[in-house]
DNA sequence: CCGAGGCGTTCGTCAAGCTGAACGCTGAGA
DNA sequence: TCTCAGCGTTCAGCTTGACGAACGCCTCGG
C-alpha cells in the first residue's frame, strides 16, 4: 500500500483513531469533555484521534472507561448489519457421521470470537469432536429432543430448554437420545 | 487493597502481564524467541511479564501477532469452565409484558461481549425492545413456534430452525405468531 | 458589533517506554 | 570438569508519549 490510503484496515493505530472518534461522537461528548473524564490531556486525545501517536495501555484504558466501552471495542473494527438463514440453508459442517449435521449460522472472520451453529443429531452414533483451538468454549441450548454432550469424561444430558457450556479445547461428545434432536451451538473462541 | 496481593483482577497491566506469560508458555516459546519474532527488545518483554511498564499499543500488538492470539486476548481475563442451567432455571429478564420471558444463560462481566438468552414469547403482545448499547447485534434461532422479530421498520418472520441477526442498538420487536414460541438469543456486544 | 466561552489543534518541556549491551544462571556435550 | 549456547534479568541512553499553555476558530448573547 502506497501511503495514506488503503490503510483503512491493518494498522492498529488507525483503528484506534477511528474507534475513539466514533465512540466519542456517539456518546455526544466533546473531545475536551472525554479528556477531562479520562484524566488525560486533551492534546493527547487529539493526537490519538488524528492517528498520530501510539498510546500506552493505561491511556487507552482510561479512555475506554470514560467512553464506557469495553477495551476491545477500541482496538477492533466493526462489522456488517443483517442476515437471515432459513432452516435447511447455510453451509453444513462436514461430519464423519451422517447422523450429525451442523449448520454454520454466523461466523466472524479469522480473528473473530464466536461461531453460531444449528446442529441436528440422530440417535445411534456418538460424535466425538476433536478439540478446537485453545480457549474455546461451547455453549449449547437444546431445542428439541434430548442430547448428551460435554467433555468425554463428564458428559451431561440436556432436555429442551436446557443450557450448558463446557471447554471446546478438549475432546468432547455429542449424542442424541431421541430422534430429531436439535440444538443451538455457540462456539466461542474467547 | 494493600499492595501486591488481591490485585489479581483490576489493573490492566497485571492482566497483560499474566496473559503475556500464559500465552507464551502455552505456545512453548522462550521469552527471547517471542521478543525476536515480535521485533521488540527482550528487556521490554521481560518487564511487561513482570508487570512493570505500560506498553504502547504498537508493542502489545506486535506481541499479539508474534503469539498468534487476538489482541483482546491479552487485555482480558480468562473465564470459568463448566455451567449448566436447566430449563426454567436461571435469572429471568425483567419484562414489561408477561408474555415475554428472557432467561439469561450466559453472560460475562461488564466488559464481556456476548450474552446468551433463552426467550419464550406468547402471542398477543408485541415486545418493543429499546436499543441496547451501540454496536450490539442480536442473533436469533427459533426453536419452536413462529417469531416475528427484527428492527421495527423491517421485521422478519422466522420458523423453527430459522436464523437471523440484526442490529440491537436500534428499536426492535419480538412477537410470537403461535403459542409456545421459544428461541435462542445471542446478544453480541462486539 | 464585539466580547465571552467553548471547541479542537499546535507547541515546548518533562517523564517514561523502548532499546542494546552486559550480567548471572542453567544444562548439554566434548 | 570445562566450555558454550541459550535463558531471563538488570542497567544507561535515546527516543517518544503525555502534559499544560497558548493559539485560532466558531457561536452565542449583550
List average pLDDT for each run of 10 residues in chain A, which is 190 residues long: 41 88 88 92 93 92 88 68 45 51 49 66 74 71 86 81 78 86 77
From first to last of its 190 residues, chain B has per-residue pLDDT tens of: 433 333 344 588 888 998 998 889 888 889 999 999 999 999 999 999 998 889 999 999 999 888 888 787 788 775 443 444 444 444 555 555 545 555 555 554 333 456 777 788 888 767 777 666 665 778 888 888 898 988 887 788 888 878 887 777 778 888 889 888 888 887 776 5
Q: Tell me whether residues B82 and A165 touch, CB distance under 8 A.
A: yes
Q: Tell me whether residues B186 and A186 touch, CB distance under 8 A.
A: yes
Matching CATH number, B12-75, of 1.10.10.10, 1.10.260.40, 1.20.1070.10, 3.40.1260.10: 1.10.260.40
* DSSP per-residue codes, A107-123: E--TT--EEEEEEEE-T
Which pTM was predicted?
0.56
Sequence spans of domains, chain A? 12-75, 100-188
Asked if residues A33 and A26 have their Cβ atoms less than 8 Å apart, the reply is no
Task: Convert the pLDDT of each residue in B142-151 to its tens digit.
Answer: 888 898 988 8
Distance (Å, rounded) from C-alpha A35 to C-alpha A44?
Answer: 8
Q: Which of B54, B188, B190 sits opposite A56 (nearest CB)?
A: B54
* CA nearest to A66, candidates A42, A93, A101: A42
pLDDT value at residue B113: 57
Nucleotides on chain C that have an atom closer than 7 A to a protein CB are 6-12, 16-21
Q: Closest residue of A to B17, CA-based? A: A57
A187 neighbourhood in chain B, CB within 8 Å: none
Which grid cell is B144?
A: 419452536
Mutation target to probe the B interface, by most B beta carbons within 10 A, among A143, A145, A182 is A143
Q: Which of A72, A88, A141 sits opposite B105 (nearest CB)?
A: A141
Q: Closest residue of B to A26, CA-based? A: B134
Is residue A112's beta carbon less than 7 angstroms from any atom in nucleic acid strand C? no
* DSSP per-residue codes, B15-56: HHHHHHHHHHHHHT--HHHHHHHHTS-HHHHHHHHTT-S--B
Asked if residues B63 and A12 have their Cβ atoms less than 8 Å apart, the reply is no
Asked if residues A121 and A181 have their Cβ atoms less than 8 Å apart, the reply is yes
CATH topology of domain B100-188: Jelly Rolls (2.60.120)
Amino acid at each position: 500500500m502506497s501511503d495514506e490510503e488503503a490503510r483503512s484496515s491493518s494498522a492498529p493505530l488507525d483503528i484506534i483513531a477511528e474507534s475513539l472518534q466514533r465512540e466519542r461522537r456517539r456518546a455526544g461528548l466533546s473531545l475536551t469533555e472525554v479528556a477531562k473524564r479520562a484524566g488525560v490531556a486533551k492534546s493527547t486525545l487529539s493526537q490519538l484521534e488524528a492517528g498520530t501517536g501510539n498510546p500506552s495501555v493505561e491511556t487507552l484504558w482510561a479512555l475506554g472507561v470514560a467512553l464506557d466501552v469495553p477495551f476491545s471495542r477500541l482496538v477492533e473494527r466493526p462489522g456488517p448489519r443483517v442476515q437471515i438463514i432459513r432452516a435447511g440453508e447455510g453451509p453444513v459442517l462436514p461430519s464423519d457421521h451422517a447422523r450429525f449435521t451442523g449448520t454454520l449460522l454466523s461466523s466472524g472472520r479469522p480473528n473473530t470470537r464466536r461461531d453460531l451453529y444449528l446442529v441436528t443429531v440422530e440417535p445411534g452414533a456418538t460424535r466425538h469432536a476433536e478439540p478446537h483451538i485453545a480457549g474455546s468454549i461451547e455453549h449449547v441450548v437444546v431445542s428439541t429432543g434430548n442430547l448428551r454432550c460435554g467433555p468425554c469424561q463428564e458428559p451431561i444430558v440436556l432436555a429442551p430448554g436446557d443450557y450448558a457450556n463446557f471447554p471446546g479445547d478438549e475432546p468432547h461428545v455429542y449424542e442424541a437420545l431421541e430422534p430429531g434432536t436439535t440444538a443451538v451451538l455457540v462456539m466461542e473462541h474467547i
